[in-house]
Structure formats: C-alpha cells, structure tokens
C-alpha cells in the first residue's frame, strides 16, 4: 500500500501493553499510525519503528481536540480509531472514594466517548471508518471489589452497541474487543489499588483471596498476551465485515459463554469458587 493510499489509524493508550502491540501490528499491515499517550517518552520505541507519537490525555478535552486536528491537517482522514486507553482500579464499592470512581469513568468511558465524537464527523463525510473500543470481559461478568471498573465496562458495551446502529448508515463499523486476563501492567495496578483500598477492614479477607487468585491467573496458561488482543483489533480494522465483538484469548471466550448460559445465582457461585479460593 502506497503512503498516499495508506489507511490512517489513531491508537490511544499506546505507551505499553495492548496499545503498543496494536501499533506494531497496524504498522505491519501498512497503516499510518498515530500513537497517543500521556507519556510520550515511553513511546520512543514505537516512534523509531514508524509510528507518529502524540501527547494525548483522554481526560483533557483540549488534548484530544488538538490530536485529532493535527491528524486531519496532516492526513485529511482518520480511518480507524482504537479506543484502548483505560485502567482498572479495584476495591470495595463502599470504600472506593467517589473521586476515584469518577476518574475511572472519565478515563474509561467519557474519554472514549469524546474522542469518538471528535473523529466521527470526518468519517461520516468520507462515509467509511472503524471505531474499535477495547472493553473487557468485565463488561459481561462481575467480580467482588470490582464494582466501579465493571460499571465503566458495562457502560462501554452499551454505548458501543447503540453507536453501532447510529453510524451504520454512514458506512462506519463499531467493534468491541473484550480482553480477558492479559499479561500487562494493568494487573499490577488493579491488585495494588485493591490492596490499598480494601486490604484492611471488613473486606480484607476478600482482597487477600482475590489477590492470590489473580497472581496465579497472571502466571498461568489461561492468561493471554497483548499481541493476541492486538491481532483481534487488526482483524476488526481490516475485515470486510468485522465482528461486532470479540473476546480474547480462548479463556475469555469461555467466560463470556458461561455467563450467557448460567443464571445469576449460578454465576455467583462459580465466581466465588474461582476468585475466593486463594
């Protein structure tokens, strides 16, 4: 694909993990890739490999507006938006400060929504585009001490499904990617926040058990790699008729399938048995 005809992608949360792997995979497919993150210094490697790096904070409207304006000025198009920026902060619903709960929504939901708003007009004008929202199996299941994180991912799922119907007449596709356990720094952040918030007090035993279980899962065979998620994102970006959602890796598909089959009470029992055995 010539540079003049190459498709243009914007990837958020590109400084590590799934975002970085996605940038590399899209570059390999011939995309012109703009990689956005708050810490540009952490993207030196992907810049050397061909990405255009941007200072991008999804909680800062001006930062997002400037980033989209720069890409449209330089390329006159954005073909693919990968909304990957996000984080998980765990702790009991009772103990997590509302300020932290709001921050999770700002990053995981409102930042994603605002960046999508900024990109859609140019996609509508061209009557083509792909919006790829990195959700989680957390948007389909639930866990103790994860109420606020799961709430953000349930929101992303509903937002994406409604958006898909709204933009379909303009030739724009929306795909939800649902990672399961993935070996990234996300796991450390979630575990540390859970321990910091609920490691003492009434929920301490639950926090201890869940942390032990998460550490086993991270090092086990069921945990996937950022590259596996990136491959799913590339499929969504390049398929003639992309899936509406894809869970990855195989263990994530199993969990989502189980949720469809089990009643709430049965799912409660399975979740307790798996997560609180530590």
Percent helix, strand and coil across the chain, each rounded to 5? 55, 15, 30
pLDDT tens digits, 181-218: 888 776 778 888 899 999 999 999 999 999 988 888 77
Is 3 part of a structural domain of the chain? Answer: no
Is 271 part of a structural domain of the chain?
yes
> Could you tell me which of 162, 177, 278 has the C-alpha nearest to residue 218?
278
Please tell me the distance from the alpha carbon of residue 74 to that of residue 177, in angstroms, as a whole number. 28
Give the global pTM.
Answer: 0.94
Domains of the chain: total:
1
Read off the pLDDT of residues 17-46 as tens digits, 9 standing for 90 and up: 999 999 999 999 999 999 999 999 999 999
Phi, psi of 83 (to 5 degrees): -85, 90
Asked about 149 being catalytic, the answer comes back as yes
Closest CA relative to residue 142, chosen from 268, 274, 2: 268
Active-site hit among 34, 90, 149, 214: 149
Position 61 in a domain:
yes
Are 142 and 162 contacting, i.e. CB atoms less than 8 angstroms apart?
no
Residue 192 pLDDT? 87
Q: What is the mean pLDDT of the chain?
A: 94
How large is the average pLDDT for residues 150-173? 98
Residue 72, pLDDT > 90, answer yes
**Domain contains 2:** no
Residue 38's domain is classified under what CATH number?
3.40.50.720
- The answer to the question of residue 1 being in a domain is no
At 166, is the pLDDT very low, low, confident or very high (cuts 50, 70, 90)? very high
Which structural domain range is residue 248 located in?
8-275
The answer to whether position 20 is within a domain reads yes
pLDDT number for residue 181? 87
In angstroms, the CA 265 to CA 120 distance is 41
The Cα–Cα gap between 111 and 132 comes to 14
């Amino acid at each position: 694909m010539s540079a003049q005809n190459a498709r243009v992608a914007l990837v958020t949360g590109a400084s590590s993990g799934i975002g970085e792997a996605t940038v590399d995979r899209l570059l390999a497919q011939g995309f012109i890739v703009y990689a956005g993150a708050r810490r540009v210094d952490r993207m030196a490697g992907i810049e050397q490999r061909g990405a255009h790096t941007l200072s991008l904070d999804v909680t800062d409207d001006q930062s997002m507006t400037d980033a989209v304006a720069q890409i449209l000025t330089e390329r006159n198009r954005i073909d693919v938006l990968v909304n990957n920026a996000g984080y998980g902060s765990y702790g009991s619903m009772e103990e997590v400060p509302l300020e932290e709960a709001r921050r999770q929504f700002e990053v995981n939901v409102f930042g994603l929504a605002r960046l999508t708003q900024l990109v859609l007009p140019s996609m509508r004008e061209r009557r083509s585009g792909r919006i790829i929202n990195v959700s989680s199996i957390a948007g389909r299941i639930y866990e103790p001490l994860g109420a606020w994180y799961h709430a953000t991912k349930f929101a992303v799922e509903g937002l994406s499904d409604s958006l898909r119907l709204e933009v379909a007449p303009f030739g724009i596709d929306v795909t939800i990617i649902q990672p399961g356990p993935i070996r990234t720094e996300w796991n450390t952040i979630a575990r540390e926040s859970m321990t910091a918030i609920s490691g003492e007090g009434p929920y301490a035993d639950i926090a201890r058990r869940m942390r032990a279980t998460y550490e086993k899962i991270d090092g086990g065979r069921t945990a996937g790699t950022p590259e596996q998620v990136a491959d799913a994102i590339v499929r969504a970006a390049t398929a003639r008729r992309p899936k509406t959602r894809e869970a990855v890796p195989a263990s994530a598909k199993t969990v989502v399938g189980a949720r469809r089959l089990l009643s709430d009470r049965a799912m409660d029992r399975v979740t307790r048995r798996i997560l609180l055995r530590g």
